[in-house]
Amino acid sequence: MSEKEPSILDYDTVTLLDEENALLIIDQTKLPGKIVLKKLKTAEEMWNSIYLLEVRGAPAIGVTAALGIYLLTKQVKVPQTDTEENYRVNFAALETEFEKQKEYLDSSRPTAVNLSWALKRMDKALLSMKVRNDLLITDVKDRLRQEAESIRSEDIEVCRKIGEYGLGLLKKGDGLLTHCNAGKLATIEYGTATAPMYLGHERGYGFHIFCDETRPLLQGSRLTAFELASAGMDVTVECDNMSASLMRTGRVQAVFVGCDRVASNGDTANKIGTSLLALAAKRYNVPFYVCAPTSTIDMSLKSGAEIPIEQRKPEEVTEMWYKERMAPENVKAYNPAFDVTDNDLITGIITEYGIAKEPFSESLRRIFDLKKKHQDSNVNNK
């Protein structure tokens, strides 16, 4: 009997190869045609991989940045205070190099707040050791690795909890519509918007999933449809501009999308085309849910107007996916990577601490109060 061909679900989105000083990622630009695993060793390789969407999705980007800056800091050459291999750290020199790498990685994509959130968390872990006069390089390596791996493992648990809350909103046989890829490929496990789908599939809910193609980069058809079909789900792909027609037929009972940033008033930034989907859902009375880990919620922003929107190269629109250029030469192309969905179009924001609903400015604060109580309880129990 021949061995079973590996599925995309058999691979981790991001893996730490500590002994090789490398990250192993799935190159998502090659999917679904072939599964290509790629090693990232330098800061430039990590930056390019994030920018070029080889690794993508807010949570996965955050994990990549955390593991990546651990590896980069681990290899920093700073003046030693002695000649032993496990030398005492010149902290000022190490901190300078860390900040340089942090700012560089943080510049790769501006909209996904998980990128800066993860890097700030790694920075905080480093600074927590600053008070020690006898700090050894192994102490730094161990602390940063521990924090990076915590970010990775927490992502799995966060997505599972989002899935449980989302599944509680659904019934067997529902038709679900999603946009872009907020699945396993955008996280470490389960995904955010797809977490209720994975859990429901495991429990025999028999969902029918509709995936928007998600132009211009086709993450819905190339990635979401690929991974959900690989899991054995019932999946249909449709062009983005067919979603309203589909909802009008009554075949969609709920929309689930991910997001890259949420403002304190509940406005959300997600892959371009999400706001049009929300408008159509509002017209046809289809519940529209945004699945957002609290790490994606930016309470420092008053509204979506303050979310920076990444502008990408026009070639992605005019020629990237075509054998021949499909727009006239010299014509301009408008290519924002994300749009903002206004909070009045959103039925609920599903987090790992519950579901926020209007008024979002109040419900999101309550979510963060619950998060703080949970964190304080964990500290007290240690």
The single residue of 174, 260, 267, 339 carrying the catalytic annotation is 260
Active site residue 260: yes
Q: Looking at this protein, which amino acid is placed at residue 263?
A: A
Answer whether 114's CB lies under 8 Å from 62's CB: yes
Answer whether 126's CB lies under 8 Å from 73's CB: yes
> How far apart, in whole angstroms, are the C-alpha atoms of residue 302 and residue 340?
13
Answer whether 227's CB lies under 8 Å from 183's CB: yes
> How far apart, in whole angstroms, are the C-alpha atoms of residue 162 and residue 126?
30
Q: Looking at this protein, which amino acid is placed at residue 114?
A: N
Answer whether 269's CB lies under 8 Å from 309's CB: yes
> How far apart, in whole angstroms, are the C-alpha atoms of residue 1 and residue 172?
36
Q: Are strands 354-356 and 297-298 parallel, antiparallel or unpaired?
A: unpaired
Bridge partners for 356 per DSSP: 349
| Joined tokens for residue 123 | 């920075």
Q: Are strands 268-271 and 338-341 parallel, antiparallel or unpaired?
A: antiparallel
Q: Looking at this protein, which amino acid is placed at residue 327?
A: A
How many CA atoms are closer than 13 Å to the CA of 216, on its beta-carbon side?
18
Residue 176: CB atoms within 10 Å? 24
Answer whether 181's CB lies under 8 Å from 26's CB: no
- Nearest-10 Cα torsion for 229, 277, 358, 368: 50
Residues near 87 by Cβ (< 8 Å), separated by ≥ 6? 80, 81, 136, 137
3-state secondary structure of 356: strand
Active site residues: 260
